[in-house]
Structure 1
Amino acid sequence: MFNFYNRYYIFRQNDGQFRDFRCDAANNLCSSILGRSGIWSDMNIIARDVHPYFCAEPGRDGFYHVLYQDNSGNINYSKTDGHYVKTFPVLGSRTPSVYNKHLRIVPLGDEVYMFYVLQHDNSFLLAYQQLKNNRPGTPKIVDYVSANSIPCTVLHDPDRNIYAFYQSYDGKYLQLGYKKFSTARKHWSDFTAVTKYQGDCEYPHAIMDPSGTIHLCYQRRAPKLFELVYQQKAPGRNLWSAETVLHSSVHPFDNASVLHVNDRIIVYWVRNDIIYWCSGSMSGDSWTRPARYGFQPGRRLRCISYTDLAAAGGPGYGDGPASRQRLGDGPSHSLSPGVFPGIVNDDGFTLAFMDAGGITGGRQFPHSRQLAVQGRDASGNELKSLVLNIFRKMQEKMGEMKAEWEEIKNEIPGLTSAYMELEKETEKLSLRLSLLENRLSQAAGQCGRTGLSGPAAGQDKSVLPEDCSGPAHGRPDRSPGYTGPVTPRQKTQQAADENAGATGTTAPAAGDRQKVHGTTEARETSAERPKPSLDPEAMKIWEEWQEPAEWTGGDVKTKGS
């Protein structure tokens, strides 16, 4: 997937060979040569444990200048020719904090300017340091910048002036502008606004062509769409051209850039590894319609920063006057580095928009291997070197596959342990579910038994006497003399009669039966009420109670009479 920040730096040297700088899968900052055999040489490790977002630029002293941060967040600077490496610490991190610091480096003769973005609390600062005589100076602040994915861009002109483009708040919206730094006077100018749009402008991308004209493309936020806009500024003037809207979309233009190729200005953007582009004149007056670039699908698209050092002396690396050279019959190139979408293979690389036949057809740039071997015949030693390089590449691939397999094997125990824990939790949940089902079954059984015993307890009420027969069912025998079940009132009357007969007293008269019956019924009702025990006073009254005279005045006498 195309990533604008993870760049692959390729430089075409004066001897016709290509040198690259990249960060490999093991976070090693490496460099190699694409020779005339068309095969990349063995990698030379510049630094280890490097964050993949770094910056590399060539200097006029024949060395390459690399700015990177390690995995602890410390910013370091390395000076190398591909073999010899000398590293200096630039800025140490108090706490390990690794994030995209948007590193930029500008080598100007014996002075090297290093730019980076630092996060301070909730703010982001664009800062820089000057390195002279291999000694880094103290960090200095340029200005506050926004916290988006592309907060700034840096370039310089033939007069060794450095331009820093970034956003600034105008009280209502974020506008794009720049500050200009004079390396001779060591002074920054005030912020000069470029945009005056009624909305936020962001994602600045700028290059400078050999004439010193600055070409700027950026994104601005319309009410419902994102717009890709182009402007330019002629050298020696502070007047910018009118805004030209190249394309509008519902998707942001975060993977976009501007190029100078074959006396044309290219503005492109990448979405889902598909390249879209517009082509305009050097004056920026006329532009083609947005089109899809005809790259071969199914291949990994890389972000490649490509610089042709054969065109040295221009504003890209600034001591000499603006000039350019043609590479044989090929196209002319911008002297400032261009960020191209492209493909890197084991036997070379391919850049979009770079073809000898022009850019209107959308054809690919001739393979770099063809340029490397053009006009030369491979000798026996070169063939031998070619075969050896192929075997070395195979060994490297096998080593990478082995390392990936080791990582997979290291991850397998953790995954197995996680699976076992998940299986244990599943068993626990299954047991809990079984217990809940058993409890529900028991509760349902108890409810069923309670419902069945209710009618049995009250069977005398719900079942008619004639439906039940005999003592076999625990019911009274219905003999000829049976007159029905004895009620509590009848039981009380029988007890009273027996009591009267036992004591020799006569039954009460007919007129008094209602009293006796009422008294007995009251006693029965009182007896039915649950009482724990009789208090002493009630017990004393009961013992001293005397029978009424009427009970002993009848015909029935007691046994003692």
Structure 2
Amino acid sequence: MYNSKNKQYVFKQSTGSVWNFFSDERKGICYSILSKRNTWSEPVIVHKDFLPPFYIDMDFEDNFHVLFQDKQGNIFYTFLDKSNVKTVQVLKSNIPSVYNKYLQLTATRNNINIFFIVDHNNSHILAHQTISGKVINPPKVIDYIFKNEHPYSILTDKSGSIYVFYQVSDGKYIQIGFKKYTPSQKTWGEFTSVTRYNGDCQFPKAVIDNKDIISIVYQRKTEKNIELVYQQKVPERNMWSVETVIHSSSYSFNNSSIVLSNGNINVFWIRDDNINFSMSSDLGKSWGKPSKYSFPVSKQLLCFSFKSNNPYECDKVYAKEIPGSYLNGYRLAFYQEGSNNTSISTDELKSMIIDGMHLLKGNVEDLIESDNSIKDSISRIDNMYKNIHKELIKQSVKISYLEGEIAKLRNNVKVTESPSNHDNLENPENEDE
């Protein structure tokens, strides 16, 4: 049964290997790997003692980053690659508390950004915490937030800036807006409203494509119905597009989201295990009539989160939530894999080359930064060596001086202890003669 709180995470690595992360009531957080025959391997347990749900992301180097809490409310982070599993506690619960903290994370080049909601004095605080290398930084408050089934959504643009969309109260209604985080400055910007509606706006779901175009879908309540609304923002403008009502109903759109696939924008919602959707093929300018999506599985319909690092498809699909099933390995709605068709268009090839250049540029920048750090260290060591050399010369001069003084003292002692001096001391009258 489709349930967005129980996601099935499917990741395709750059090598083509497909991993599936999921939770099991007895085994905990597990993963399986898809074989060439489209069969899943036996589950491997990552963590057994945890409180559902968990969250996971894959970075551009095919590493996995898992965020979960234990049954006492403590939050843990796990780094996982082909050979290592490392887990650290990032936040300790002062009082054992068992409730959904709505964990999310995003892995950027040098930092792991963690997000969660904590309850405090009948209020709900959206917090942000970073892990830089081995350093776990203390959490910081983003804002007070209105909490429901889907309280916030995060995404990251090509520059590494992070957007968090969330719900706040304007004193009368629940509205949706966002804040932007700039990693280089380590600061959050001011809250920017997306909605200014005379009614409650809820359940923000946002995605971003390879051109940094942001799409958001949410529901808003009218006097008679509930509307599913789409809006868009392009990077060159600070304004959002006009609201497009995709569909209206007397039922909630809590199981709804956006899938960007093959240049199309698909807004979908689930009713009685049926996929309903409306599609735009012209970047949101016009929309097709809402209809049911033909999918081979209904009762076994599940909520997937899909991400690919495969160069032939990483820019073809963006889906934090997408209906799917484990039919013949896995099958996703709105997106059929082109495993036998690897041809790409000129624009897609250009985009891949540009992305590759950005990636190489980032790696070169990291190498330059490391080289500069090494040069600074060498310079400090060289200065230390010069200072030590100067100090050795000073000490050598002092030692030479002391050796000379000791030699003089030894000569004086020898003269004093010679036999002639003893005779002169015993026969002082000889001097008178």
> With structure 1 as the length reference, what TM-score do the two structures score?
0.59
Match of 2:155 in 1: 155
Cross-structure match for 1:507:
none
Distance 1:282 1:158 in 2: 22
| Aligned residue in 2 for 1:93 | 93
Q: Which residue of 1 aligns with 2:244?
A: 244
Q: Counterpart of 1:181?
A: 181
CA shift for structure 1 position 83: 4.5
> Matches of 2:79 and 2:297 in 1, distance apart?
38
User: Are the equivalent residues in 1 in contact too, given 2:68–2:76 (CA < 8 A)?
Assistant: yes
Report if the CA contact (8 A) 2:259-2:334 is conserved: no
1:264 corresponds to which residue? 264
| Counterpart-to-counterpart distance in 2, 1:15 and 1:57 | 17
Task: Measure the CA separation in 2 of the matches of 1:298 and 1:269.
Answer: 14
Pair 1:298–1:246, CA change in 2 (3 A): closer
Aligned residue for 2:323, secondary structure, equals strand
Structure 2 equivalent of residue 354 of structure 1: 335
State the Cα distance separating 1:43 from its structure 2 match.
1.9
Cα-to-partner distance string for 1:471-511 (whole Å, 9 max, x where unaligned):
xxxxxxxxxxxxxxxxxxxxxxxxxxxxxxxxxxxxxxxxx
Distance in structure 1 (CA, Å) of the matches to 2:4 and 2:313: 28
Contact 1:27 1:51 in 2 (8 A): no
Please name the residue that 2:393 is paired with. none
Cα deviation digits, residues 231-276 of structure 1 (max 9, x gap): 0000132110000001000000000001101110000011221111
**1:165-202 C-alpha deviation (Å, 9 max, x unpaired):** 01222232221110011011111111100111111111
> Counterpart amino acid of 2:49?
D
Shift of 1:147: 2.0
Structure 2 residue aligned with 1:333: 316
CA RMSD, 1 decimal: 2.0
Contact 1:260–1:338 (CA under 8 A) maintained in structure 2: no
Distance in 1 (CA, whole Å) between partners of 2:238 and 2:282 is: 18
Give the structure 1 partner of residue 22 of structure 2: 22
Offset at residue 297 of structure 1 (A): 4.6
8 Å Cα contact 2:180-2:189 kept in structure 1: yes
Structure 1 residue 82: Cα displacement: 4.7
Question: Could you report, residue by residue, the CA deviation over 1:44-70 in whole angstroms, capped at 9, with x for unpaired residues?
Answer: 211112223111111234311111111
Aligned residues of 2:152 and 2:164 also touching (Cα < 8 A): yes
Cα deviation code 1:259-307 (max 9, x no counterpart): 1011100000112211110001342110011111122355411111011
Q: Kindly, what percent of the aligned residue pairs are identical? A: 39
Deviation sequence 1:92-126 (CA, Å, 0-9, x none): 11222222211111111121100011111311110
SS at match of 1:3: coil
Deviation at 1:338, TM superposition (A): 3.2
The one-letter code of the counterpart of 2:289 is R
1:295 paired with 2:295, answer yes
SS in 2 for 1:348: coil
Query: Is the Cα contact below 8 Å between 2:325 and 2:332 reproduced in 1?
Result: yes
Structure 2 gap segments, 5+ residues each? 343-433
TM-score (normalised: structure 2): 0.75
Shift of 1:37: 2.5
* CA offsets 1:15-74 (integer angstroms, 9 cap, x no match): 222011111121511112102132111222111122231111112343111111112211
Counterpart mapping for 1:399-438 below 5 A: none
Partner of 1:343: 325
* Partner Cα distance (2:116, 2:135) in 1: 17
Is contact 1:27–1:52 with CA below 8 Å preserved after alignment? no
**What pairs up with 1:276-315 in 2 under 5 angstroms?**
276-311=276-311
Q: Which moved more, 1:223-232 or 1:49-58?
A: 49-58
Instruction: Name the structure 2 match of 1:227.
Output: 227
DSSP 3-state at the match of 1:310 = coil
Contact 2:260/2:319, CA 8 A, preserved across alignment: no
Contact 1:152–1:164 under 8 Å retained in 2: yes
Query: Which of 1 and 2 has greater Rg?
Result: 1
Q: State the 1:128 CA deviation.
A: 1.1
Structure 1 residue aligned with 2:430: none
Q: Structure 2 matches for 1:131-142, cutoff 5 A?
A: 131-142=131-142
Structure 1 gaps of 5+ residues are 312-324, 356-364, 375-561
C-alpha contact (below 8 Å) 1:38/1:348 kept by paired residues: yes
* 1:274 pairs with 2:274: yes
Partner Cα distance (1:298, 1:189) in 2? 43
